[in-house]
């Protein structure tokens, strides 16, 4: 099995697009703004996400974030968002990292692989620790976070905040 974490590319094609259509627009707090997007608008979506990673044209309440695809044997099975810094809103909900596995590929351990790879990418960016937030009842994601070194920092209003130190 060949695993690769690949940063979004402006040349990404139908395979990535189809994965994004399979992932719900909102699930457990993870937002997928590409769901239900017509394929003709996909290149514009990619450009907007690339600009976001470079801090270009960000809304006032947004921070730069880089999108990564988890590729298994050349097939996109999930994606993650790595936010380069935190603002007050992300400290409450969202954190530095959000990730999702496409429904048809769940239960295969890819969430654990994706988070591990995103943590490496954060470390490569010079980050020393990252925050992840998750719904209290999302047991699978909590287990993945804890297996990757996440330490529960708080539980408030049904949301868990975990810190992961990057050594």
Beta strands per DSSP E along 8-167: 26-27, 30-31, 65-72, 75-83, 97-101, 129-135, 151-156, 159-165
Give the model's pLDDT for residue 160.
96
Provide the residue ranges of all domains of the chain, joining segments of one domain with +: 3-127
User: pLDDT at residue 30 above 90?
Assistant: no
For the ranges 25-34, 40-49, 129-138, the lowest mean pLDDT is seen at 25-34
pLDDT tens-digit readout, 8-17? 999 999 999 9
Give the model's pLDDT for residue 167.
78
| 18 — pLDDT class (breaks 50, 70, 90) | very high
Alpha carbons within 13 A on the beta-carbon side of 110? 26
| 149 — pLDDT class (breaks 50, 70, 90) | very high
pLDDT tens-digit readout, 38-88? 999 999 999 999 999 999 999 888 999 999 999 999 999 999 999 999 999
User: pLDDT at residue 29 above 90?
Assistant: no
CB 98 within 8 A of CB 141: no
Of the CATH numbers 3.50.50.60, 3.40.50.2000, 3.40.228.10, 3.40.630.30, which one belongs to the domain with range 3-127? 3.40.630.30
Neighbours of 123 (CB within 10 A): 16
CB 138 within 8 A of CB 145: no
Q: What is the pTM of this model?
A: 0.95
| 3 — pLDDT class (breaks 50, 70, 90) | very high
CB 113 within 8 A of CB 131: no
């Amino acid at each position: 099995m060949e695993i690769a974490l690949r940063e979004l590319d402006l040349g990404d094609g139908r395979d990535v697009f189809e994965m994004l259509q399979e992932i719900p627009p909102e699930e457990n707090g993870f937002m997928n703004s590409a769901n239900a997007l017509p394929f003709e608008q996909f290149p514009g979506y990619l450009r907007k996400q690339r600009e976001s990673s470079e801090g270009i044209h960000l809304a006032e309440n947004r921070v730069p974030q880089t999108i990564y695809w988890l590729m298994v044997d050349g097939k996109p099975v999930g994606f993650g968002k790595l936010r380069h810094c935190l603002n007050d809103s992300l400290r409450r909900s969202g954190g530095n990292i959000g990730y999702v596995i496409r429904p048809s590929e769940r239960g295969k351990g890819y969430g654990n692989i994706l988070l591990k790879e995103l943590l490496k990418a954060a470390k490569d960016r010079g980050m020393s620790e990252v925050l992840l937030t998750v719904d209290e009842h999302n047991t699978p994601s909590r287990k993945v976070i804890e297996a990757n070194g996440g330490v529960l920092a708080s539980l408030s209003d049904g949301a868990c905040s975990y810190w992961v130190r990057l050594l």
